[in-house]
Structure 1
Amino acid sequence: MKLNSLGLPVEQSEELVNELNGLLSNFQIYYQNLRGLHWNIRGKRFFDLHLKFEELYNDSQLKIDLIAERVLTLGGTPLHTFSDYIVNSKLKVGKDISKDVEAIQLILESLSVLLQVERVILAKASEINDEGTNSMMSDFIAEQEKTNWMLKAWLDEEI
């Protein structure tokens, strides 16, 4: 088995790069959705949600950079065009959403997809003892599970 300079199997690392590029694509769509929600939210909860959406898109922007840098660390090239993001994303594009409940539901749907993708990456990274990717996915999952809980509480729904 051929190992890369990190001591990880080359073939499985290339598979992880593909998975991470998929996650990167999903995060880029998530980020842009959050920007749209931030700009277009209306109603009595405007001030709270406007700030919350900004918090979420700033966090997403940081995660996007971490994912791209992990792709580079593993020897890959991060996707960087909108056409690549659209083709490789599983997220629904949120267009012209201005109502609070609809906005939160879009975020919850997006988080569900992100968590599924991250769990696949976590499993694959664990198989080859890729602690760098593993740690990043664990951190992302823990944060997003908490965000999921809080948004569901806002909607007053069960998890």
Structure 2
Amino acid sequence: MSVTILGLDKEKSTVLVENLNGLLSNFQVYYQNLRGLHWNIKGKNFFELHVKFEEYYTDSQEKIDMIAERILTLGGTPLHTFGDYSAKAKVPIGKNVSEDVAAVTLVMNSLSELLKIEREILNLSDDAEDEGTNSMMSDFIAEQEKTIWMLQSWLG
């Protein structure tokens, strides 16, 4: 078995990089959705959701950087073009969403897609004995599960 400088199996690290680039792409789409929701939200919940979507996109921006840096740590190159992001996107794209329930539902559905990707990466990182990626995915998953619960509560 060929190993990286981190002591990880090279082949498994390559698979992790590919999957992390998929997550990175989906987070970029999610981030852009949140920016659009922040800008375009209307109605009686404007003030509450305008601030909440800003909180979410700021958090996403940090996670995007963490994912890209993990890809680099594993010896890969983070994707960085909109074409790459679009090709790998599984997160629903929200265009001209301004109504509160539709906006919150979009965020919830996006997080659900991100969770699927993260759980797959968690399984791969566990198999590769990659504790760095494993820990990051565990943290993301726990936080996003709680966010989904809160969004479901907001929807009633």
Post-superposition offset of 1:120: 0.2
**Does residue 82 of structure 2 align to residue 82 of structure 1?**
yes
Matched residues in 2 for 1:48 and 1:153: separation?
15
Q: What stretches of structure 1 move > 6 A for 4+ residues in a row?
A: none
- Could you tell me the TM-score, scaled by structure 2's length? 0.99
The equivalent residue for 1:96 is: 96
Query: Separation in 2 of the partners of 1:8 and 1:16?
Result: 11
Give 2:114's aligned residue.
Answer: 114
Q: Which amino acid aligns with 1:118?
A: E
Where in structure 1 are there 5+ consecutive unaligned residues? none
Q: Following TM superposition, by how much is the alpha carbon of 1:91 offset from its aligned partner in structure 2, in angstroms?
A: 1.2
Size of the aligned set, in residue pairs, is: 156
Residue 48 of structure 1 pairs with residue 51 of structure 2: no
Counterpart code for 2:9: P
How large is the RMSD of aligned CA atoms in angstroms? 0.3
1:69 aligns with 2:69: yes
The C-alpha deviation readout for 1:33-83, integer Å capped at 9, x for no partner, is: 000000000000000000000000000000000000000000000000001
Cα displacement (A) at 1:89: 1.0
The share of aligned pairs that are identical, in percent, is 66
- Alignment-derived partner of residue 4 in structure 1: 4
- The residue type paired with residue 7 of structure 1 is G
Which runs of no fewer than 5 residues in structure 2 stay unpaired? none
Match for residue 142 of structure 2?
Answer: 142
1:145 deviates by 0.3
| Superposed displacement of residue 116, structure 1 | 0.2
Q: Distance in 1 between matches of 2:128 and 2:34?
A: 34
Deviations 1:108-132 (Å, cap 9, x if unpaired)?
Answer: 1101100000000000000011000
The one-letter amino acid paired with 2:148 is N
Partners of 2:134 and 2:89 lie apart in 1 by 21
